[in-house]
Amino acid sequence: ELQAARNLQGPKIILHTAYDDRDEGIFVVDTIRRLLDHGKAAGSDFAVMYRTNAQSRLIEEAFLKAGIDYRLVGAQRFYGRREIKDLIAYLRLVHNPDDAVSFSRIINVPKRGIGDVGLQSILLSAQKAQISPGRLLLSLGLEKEKSALADSLPSRILPKLIYFGEQFLYWSEAKEELSVAELLDTIIESIEYENYLEEDSVNRDTSIDRLANVHELRRLTYEYKDSGLDTFLENMALVSDQDTLPENTEAPTLLTLHAAKGLEFPIVFIVGMDQDLLPHSRSISEPEELAEERRLFYVGITRAKDQLYLTRAERRSFFGTTSTTLPSEFLADIPSDFIEVAGKAGITRHHHRNTGYAQFDNNARATRSPSWLDFSRPETRRQPEVDPIYHIGMRVHHALWGEGVVINSFVDDGEEAVDIEFKETGLKKVLASIVKLEILSEGENHV
């Protein structure tokens, strides 16, 4: 079993259950502000830790709204992360084809075989035609080889530019009909950005982190379902400006559990104590990886010298929908004598969909003494029952890639992954939740 913080005579670990993930961030920042206002701690005494860097966004926003400085260890601020800047640059270019900075950022992301020499040819051709590089792309997408600009470009990169121009033209026309979330999903799908991140990342943990950042940006766009792209980009500019302020070394520290090794802080918050976050969903089914997740949690709780807070959220938003969560199985490893349940939720012994978990109950008294032995671990990974939409042999059509045949489909962690062989563009590996396909005929194996 995990043991609590080393100061056994000190205060108990405080467990707080928030209404949702946004309230979780607000609780952390409000607690820090209260302790600062009462002179009970200095800013540098605090650390907020999480499993993946993507979890920092709502924490960062809570700090910004409260006007409290913070610093990050081992990571860029959320809006400064490479994958976030890439995708926002795509949206900015679609919104404004004359945005030369965004064009230069994304022309080779993912790599298109254009290179620096090809980029210089594009910029020179656009300059001679007295148009922006973005409008040159639109012209190629619309007129293809018939474009007056085609002859001014190297033949080696012309087909690649025409293909990218067709994509860019499609996004530019679709932006009037699609929500920000739908537009972003379309771009991610078209450029196969998630495949690019997996290939570009140095290891599995980096890949998980970068994909989680993309999913967090996707989740953010769903908050703008009633607003246009211009409103979203204006707000991103405001938040990004705040993100570039110099860091205060005396401010609270935000960092992942991986980055916390070897560090100590008087007061530590570990957020996201939910199953599938800590432990991470990709680790639950593998004993060795689950053991590593448990070691990470142990690292986190032993970083606290004086006070440890564990926080979780009863529900979290996922791409426009809200799902209830389960407490992390690691909470069962902490002896009940070391825990004080605070906030709006206590513990009660009822079960949720036969998971074997004791659940946090809104109606339970916050002062109730929990019996941590009531927790039992799930035998298998928890995930919703999802029937595959696509089947081997099924013929499908995509707006950009044309007609194709499904050659494989499987459900992993609640997501359906589909391999499709397209006649014109070859093999594509896509997620059913993102890709938009028209089913032309059922597969032979479909019952």
State which H helix or E strand residue 101 sits in: helix 100-106
The answer on 18 and 98 residing in a single domain is no
Instruction: Return the closest-CA partner of residue 291 out of 337, 354, 333, 339.
Output: 333
Q: Which residues pair with 317 in a beta bridge?
A: 322
The answer on 184 and 217 residing in a single domain is yes
Confidence of residue 355 (pLDDT cuts 50, 70, 90): very low
Q: Assess if residue 351 is contained within a domain.
A: no
CA–CA dist 246, 316 (Å, integer): 31
Q: What is the mean pLDDT of residues 288-302?
A: 88
**pLDDT of amino acid 76:** 74
Tell me which range, 202-216, 258-272, 283-297, 362-376, is most confidently predicted by mean pLDDT: 258-272
The answer on 201 and 90 residing in a single domain is yes
CATH of residue 281: 3.40.50.300
CA–CA dist 107, 358 (Å, integer): 51
Beta carbons of 78 and 57 less than 8 angstroms apart: yes
Q: Assess if residue 388 is contained within a domain.
A: no
Q: Assess if residue 2 is contained within a domain.
A: no
**pLDDT of amino acid 241:** 52
The answer on 214 and 104 residing in a single domain is yes
The answer on 48 and 133 residing in a single domain is no
Round the average pLDDT of the chain to a whole number and report it.
Answer: 80
Burial of 184 (0-12, 13-18, 19+ CB in 10 A): buried
CA–CA dist 195, 192 (Å, integer): 6
Q: What is the mean pLDDT of residues 292-306?
A: 90
Beta carbons of 434 and 423 less than 8 angstroms apart: no
Q: Assess if residue 281 is contained within a domain.
A: yes
CATH of residue 191: 1.10.486.10
The answer on 222 and 93 residing in a single domain is yes
CATH of residue 408: 2.30.140
Top-confidence residue, 116 or 443: 116
Instruction: Return the closest-CA partner of residue 2 out of 276, 283, 278, 272.
Output: 278
How many other C-beta atoms lie within 10 A of the C-beta of residue 177? 8
Range of the domain at 181: 80-232
Tell me the pLDDT tens digit for each residue of 86-145.
Answer: 999 999 999 999 999 999 999 999 988 888 888 888 899 999 889 999 999 998 888 887
Total domain count, the chain: 3
Q: What is the mean pLDDT of residues 48-67?
A: 89
Share of residues in the chain with pLDDT > 90 (%):
26
Top-confidence residue, 432 or 222: 222
Tell me which range, 307-316, 370-379, 395-404, is most confidently predicted by mean pLDDT: 307-316
**pLDDT of amino acid 3:** 44
CA–CA dist 98, 131 (Å, integer): 8
The answer on 313 and 414 residing in a single domain is no
What three-state secondary structure class fits 115?
Answer: helix
**pLDDT of amino acid 77:** 78
The answer on 228 and 91 residing in a single domain is yes
The answer on 215 and 124 residing in a single domain is yes
Q: Assess if residue 136 is contained within a domain.
A: yes
Q: What is the mean pLDDT of residues 190-205?
A: 83
**pLDDT of amino acid 321:** 66
Q: Assess if residue 150 is contained within a domain.
A: yes
pLDDT above 60 (res 363): no
The answer on 196 and 58 residing in a single domain is no
CA–CA dist 183, 208 (Å, integer): 23
**pLDDT of amino acid 8:** 53
Q: What is the mean pLDDT of residues 341-345?
A: 65
Question: What's the CA dihedral at 430, 436, 442, 446 to 10 degrees?
Answer: 50
The answer on 324 and 261 residing in a single domain is yes
Beta carbons of 347 and 374 less than 8 angstroms apart: yes
